[in-house]
Amino acid sequence: MADWHLYCEESCKTERKFVLGGILIESEKVNGLTDGIGRWRQRRGLVGEINWKKTTQNRLERYSEFVTGSLMRAERGDLLYRCAVFDRHEDAHFPGEPEAVRLGRRLYHFLLHCFVLSLRGDDRLFLFLDKGLLPGHPSDLRKMLNCGIAGHRHQQPHGLVHWVQELDSKMCDFIQMADVLTGAIGSALNCNRIDGSSRGAAKARLIEHMSSRLKIAGFHETIECRGGFGLWHVPARQKKHPGPYPALQEVLAEPRLSVTASALPSIG
């Protein structure tokens, strides 16, 4: 049995490629990692919120260090980063569907398939979402995720997803970490978000730094979980479902979405 903390953020919600990203950490490691980030912040004079949108030439060196440190922690097993990319062109097939419904469904499938199904049955998950990301009540998402895992494992729902809470990203280093990594991926996939300004050039260099550190050419393909980093390009939806989250009967009967060739192995 283990307790886990999961911190989630989104990027490019209005662009063609919408990205959800999360940082998973075993609960007993959270305080130590937070202290380490705090010492680095103090040493480098970076006391405010670290945010992809705040990437500038003046912050580039320190943001590059932050990305390097995040990926190094993933490589040595201190944390796990996974993200899912959704193509919003599928939205044109469902013109009457509210945006909150689309976001809720994507969030549910991202969390279930990228994290929750990888946990052991006796684990507990504490889920923290950036404020404004959740289009509904935290308890609804918790119940649906527990029903989702029960459907996949053919058992009665129980409390693997133990807690869901919204947090202000300014108060959480790990949501900020998810923001920078997810923002870089989203901006790389939506090239129109990188302009010729000084800020745009800084973002382009940070994307290049992240790609180089991962030893990949880009983010346009599903990346198997290597060194604690995984990326999933989600297959386009084939049919419309009502409601912000699937109904229980849908969860129990839903197709078992593939994460591409067992790209995301068991966490435990």
pLDDT the model gives residue 70: 97
Q: What is the pLDDT of residues 187-213, one digit of tens each?
A: 999 986 677 789 999 999 999 999 999
Does residue 263 surpass a pLDDT of 50?
no
Q: Which tokens go with 200?
A: 């745009």
pLDDT the model gives residue 92: 82
pLDDT the model gives residue 23: 98
Q: In whole angstroms, how far apart are CA 119 and each of 10, 20, 187, 189?
A: 22, 19, 30, 29
Does residue 243 surpass a pLDDT of 90?
no
Does residue 262 surpass a pLDDT of 90?
no
Sheet holding 229-233, edge to edge: 161-167, 124-130, 3-11, 17-26, 80-87, 229-233, 223-226
Does residue 69 surpass a pLDDT of 70?
yes
Phi, psi (degrees; rounded to nearest 5) at 185 = -65, -45
pLDDT the model gives residue 238: 62
Mean pLDDT of the region 30-59: 96
The mean pLDDT value of the chain amounts to 86
Domain boundaries, the chain: 3-253
Domain 3-253 fold is Nucleotidyltransferase; domain 5 (3.30.420)
Does residue 248 surpass a pLDDT of 80?
no
Using 50, 70 and 90 to split pLDDT, how confident is the model at 258?
A: very low
pLDDT the model gives residue 214: 95
Contact 177, 139 (CB under 8 A): no
Distance between CA 187 and CA 144 in Å, rounded?
Answer: 30
Residue partners of 205: CB distance under 8 A and separation at least 6: 60, 64
Identify any residues that bridge with 81 across adjacent strands, giving them in sequence order: 23, 229
Question: Would the pTM of this model clear 0.85, i.e. be above it?
Answer: yes
Mean pLDDT of the region 55-70: 97
pLDDT the model gives residue 245: 40
Q: What is the pLDDT of residues 77-103, one digit of tens each?
A: 999 999 999 999 888 877 888 888 889
